[in-house]
A and B are shown apart, each in its own frame.
Chain A
Amino acid sequence: MKKFVMIHNENLCIGCQACSVACRNENKVPDDVYRLQVHIKMSGTFPHLKSDYTRHSCVMCEDSPCVSVCPTGASFKTENGITLIDDRLCVSCKYCILACPYDARFVDPITKAIGKCTFCYENRLLEGKEPACVSVCPTDALVFGDALDQNSEVSKLIAKKSIEYPKAYLNTKPRLGFIKNTKGGRYE
Chain B
Amino acid sequence: MAISRRSFLKTSTAIGTLAAFELNLGAKSSLINQSSKLVPSVCEMCSTRCPIEAQVIDGKCNFIQGNPKFNANKTSVCARGGAGLNQLYDPKRIVTPLIRVGQRGENKWREASWKEALELCAKKLDEIKQKYGPQSVVFTSKSGESHTQMTNFACAYGSPNIFSHWSCCPITYNMVLSHTYGSGLSRDYANAKYIVNFGHNLFEGLVISDTKKLAKFASKEDAKLLVLDPRFSGVAAKADEWLPVKPGTDLAFLMALIHVWIRDEKYDKKFIEEYTIGIDEVIKSVKETSPKWQENITGIKAKDVERIADEIWAKAPQVIIDWGHKTTTTKAEYQRTRAIAIANALMGNLEKRGGIFFGKDAKTFNKLCGEELFPTLANPDAAFKIPKTQRIDGCGEEGHKHFFISRKHGVLMDIAPAILSQKPYPIKGWVNTRFNHLINVAGTKDTIKAIKELDFVVSIDVYLNDFSNLADVVLPEATYLERDESIQNKSGTAPGYYMRNKAIEPIAGTKSGYEIFRELARLMKIDQNYTWNTINEYRMIQAKGNDKLVADLIKDGYVNWKVPQVYYREKSYVSKFVEKYSNAAQFVDENGQMSSQIKFKTPSGKIELFLASIEEKLPGEGSLNTNNMDVYGGHEFCLMTGKTAIHTNGHTQSLPILNNLMSFSPLWINTKAAKQKNLKDGDKVILKNEFGEVEATLMLTEGIREDTLFLYHGFGHITPDLTRSNMIGTNQSVILNPADGVVCGTMVTNVGVDIIKA
Which A residues are within 8 Å of any B CB, using their own CB?
9, 11-12, 14-18, 20-22, 24-26, 31-32, 42, 44-47, 49-51, 63, 65, 67-68, 70, 73, 75-79, 84, 86, 88-89, 122, 126, 132, 135-141, 170-172, 183-187
Contact = CB atoms under 8 A, between A and B. Distances in A.
A25 B82 contact: yes
Contacts of B86: 25
Interface in B20-70: 20-21, 24-25, 28, 62-66
Contacts of B82: 18, 21-22, 25, 136
Nearest to A171: B1
Contacts of B705: 46
Given A21-B82, A42-B237, 18 more contacts: A15-B645, A16-B204, A16-B645, A17-B79, A17-B645, A21-B79, A25-B64, A25-B82, A31-B660, A44-B702, A49-B242, A63-B3, A68-B6, A68-B10, A73-B13, A76-B17, A77-B15, A172-B1
Contacts of B219: 9, 11-12
Given A12-B219, A22-B65, A25-B86, A183 B206 contact: no
A183 B10 contact: no
A14 B234 contact: yes
A51 to B, nearest CB: 4
B75 interface: yes
Contacts of A137: 76
Contacts of A77: 11, 14-15
A42 B203 CA distance: 15
Contacts of B237: 42, 49-51, 183-184
B707 to A, nearest CB: 12
A15 B645 CA distance: 8
Contacts, number: 181
Interface string B193-220: 0000000000110101001100110110
B11 A49 contact: no
5 contacts: A25-B62, A47-B242, A73-B14, A77-B15, A186-B242
A46 B244 contact: yes
A68 B703 contact: no
Contacts of A12: 215-216, 219
A50 B211 CA distance: 20
Contacts of B211: 14, 138-139
A67 B645 contact: no
Contacts of B702: 42, 44-46, 49
A3 to B, nearest CB: 15
Contacts of B85: 25
**Which of A76, A79, A89, A140 is packed against the most chain B CB atoms within 10 Å?**
A76
A57 to B, nearest CB: 16
B517 to A, nearest CB: 32
Contacts of A42: 232, 237, 701-703
B615 interface: no
Interface string B409-439: 0000000000000000000000000000000
Interface residues of B, number: 69
B76 A18 contact: yes
A185 to B, nearest CB: 8
B550 interface: no
B181 to A, nearest CB: 29
A59 to B, nearest CB: 13
Contacts of A32: 660
B661 interface: yes
B698 to A, nearest CB: 16
B203 A16 contact: yes
Contacts of A136: 65-66, 75-78, 82
Contacts of A170: 1
A139 B215 contact: yes
B646 interface: yes
B21 A84 contact: yes
Contacts of B470: none
A20 B77 CA distance: 12
A25 B65 CA distance: 11
B99 interface: no
Nearest to B4: A68
Contacts of A76: 10-11, 13-15, 17-18, 21
B218 A51 contact: no
Nearest to B73: A138
Nearest to A31: B660
A188 B489 CA distance: 45
B106 interface: no
Nearest to A68: B7
Contacts of A135: 65, 75
B2 A171 contact: yes
Contacts of A49: 232, 237, 242, 702-703
Nearest to A74: B17
Contacts of A20: 79, 661
B611 interface: no
B339 interface: no
Contact of A89 (B17, B79, B232, B656): B17
B1 A63 contact: yes
Contacts of B241: 186-187
A28 to B, nearest CB: 9
Contact of B81 (A18, A44, A65, A68): A18
A11 B704 CA distance: 22
A42 B237 CA distance: 9
B479 interface: no
B124 interface: no
Contact of B646 (A17, A88, A132): A17
Contacts of A78: 15, 18
Contacts of B83: 21, 25
Contacts of B288: none
A36 to B, nearest CB: 12
Nearest to A126: B25
Interface in B699-738: 701-706
Contacts of B372: none
B362 to A, nearest CB: 28
A13 B244 CA distance: 22
A181 to B, nearest CB: 9
B219 to A, nearest CB: 5
A186 B64 CA distance: 38
